[in-house]
Amino acid sequence: MKLKDFYSFCVQEGIKADLRTKVQLRETFRQQRKKIKVAKTDGRKFFDKEDLRNPYADTRILYGDVSKEIKRILVGIDIDPAEILLAERLSQKGKVIDLVLAHHPEGHAWAGFYEVMSLQTDLLVNLGLEKKVAEDLMSKRIGDVNRRVHGSNHMRTVDAAKLLDMALMCCHTPADNHVASYLQNLMETVNPKTLKDAVRLLMKEPEYQSASTGKAGPKIVLGKPEDKVGKVFVDMTGGTEGSKDIFARLSQAGVKTLVCMHLSEEHFKKIQCEYLNVIVAGHIASDNLGMNLLLDKIEKKSSLEVLECSGFRRFKR
């Protein structure tokens, strides 16, 4: 499989696993076409044309010949210059790395990843929130994340890849879509009665078993093990945590239990005031599950050797 085909496959499978409706996805692309149409001449040259076919700004080929054949990849949750050097060293020792694949975004995919957060607005609407309310709450949070990310050294890892001529790609939301849709379907199909039942259900997945051996497995952070689960919302996609002011609205929409990757202290303090149970499944473990579900699909299409690094553990299904 060529790099360009690998990338396109990740994007298309991400779209298939997207929890938004087809109408919402079409509207996302329509808005991107509108942006480039109304952009002035000077602004058009800075427009990322990938946005016209890829709705995930945090998933990009960051460096490399798109026609390169991909046979062996080094996969990590976070990729820094150290992992690029590791890939180069492995290549020198005979295990030639054709692509370094990061889950978390780097380069311009990191600089623009806040754009993906609009996905959360549509999910909130699908839960029953008014669109105007969802947009207002999320716009504030998107602005916060935009300002925080803007000052980062975005190109550090990409520069290392260029110097060593190592192909580099990141795949964030397509993988997160897979874990979110997989677990949402699992919760709705099995319908666990209590919080401890929900945790037991998560613990059937090898990624959460592995994380638990390292003391980073699923935890009930709000609620008691015997509490009823009720309506579950799996909040694991859309870039990062959404608005901290959204929890009251979730409760009003009938959500009883939130299953998430992680919860900041600021968000935790806010949600304590609401009638919601919270299960934190684990950040890296959930990232692993999403990446593994996607890699399973890729390996059915093309033979691929996967080497693990930076918190990634390969589990096949």
Q: 117-159, pLDDT tens digit by residue?
A: 999 999 999 999 999 999 999 999 999 999 999 999 999 999 9
Q: Are residues 266 and 192 in the same domain?
A: yes
Q: What is the pLDDT of residue 161?
A: 98
Q: Are residues 279 and 291 in the same domain?
A: no
Domain assignment of residue 108, yes or no: yes
Q: Is the pTM of this model over 0.85?
A: yes
C-alpha dist (Å) from residue 50 to 56, 86, 152, 223, 249: 9, 29, 22, 43, 34
Q: Are residues 21 and 107 in the same domain?
A: yes
| CATH number of the domain to which 197 belongs | 3.40.1390.30
**What is the rounded (10 degree) CA torsion for 150, 156, 161, 163?**
130
Domain assignment of residue 204, yes or no: yes
Sign of the CA dihedral 74, 77, 80, 83?
negative
The tens digit of pLDDT for each residue in 159-180 reads 999 999 999 999 999 999 999 9
Q: Which two tokens stand for residue 166?
A: 């190592």
Domain assignment of residue 234, yes or no: yes
Q: What gap in Å lies between CA 43 and CA 268, rounded to an integer? A: 40
Q: Are residues 198 and 257 in the same domain?
A: yes
Q: What is the pLDDT of residue 36?
A: 78
Domain assignment of residue 247, yes or no: yes
Q: Are residues 155 and 296 in the same domain?
A: yes
Q: Are residues 294 and 221 in the same domain?
A: no
> In angstroms, how far is CA 131 from the centroid of its own chain?
23
**β 99-102/72-76 pair status:** parallel
Q: Are residues 294 and 263 in the same domain?
A: no
Q: Which two tokens stand for residue 279?
A: 């299960």
Q: Are residues 85 and 225 in the same domain?
A: no
Domain assignment of residue 314, yes or no: no
**β 231-235/255-260 pair status:** parallel
- Which ranges of the chain have pLDDT less than 70? 40-43
Q: What gap in Å lies between CA 224 and CA 198, rounded to an integer? A: 12
What range does the domain containing 237 cover?
178-283
Q: What is the pLDDT of residue 42?
A: 67
Q: Are residues 26 and 163 in the same domain?
A: yes
- Total tally of structural domains belonging to the chain: 2
Q: Which two tokens stand for residue 315?
A: 């589990």
Nearest Cα neighbor of 91 from 187, 33, 175, 165 is: 165
Q: Are residues 137 and 52 in the same domain?
A: yes
Domain assignment of residue 225, yes or no: yes
Q: Are residues 205 and 277 in the same domain?
A: yes
Q: Are residues 261 and 299 in the same domain?
A: no
Q: What is the pLDDT of residue 46?
A: 79
Domain assignment of residue 12, yes or no: yes
Domain assignment of residue 104, yes or no: yes
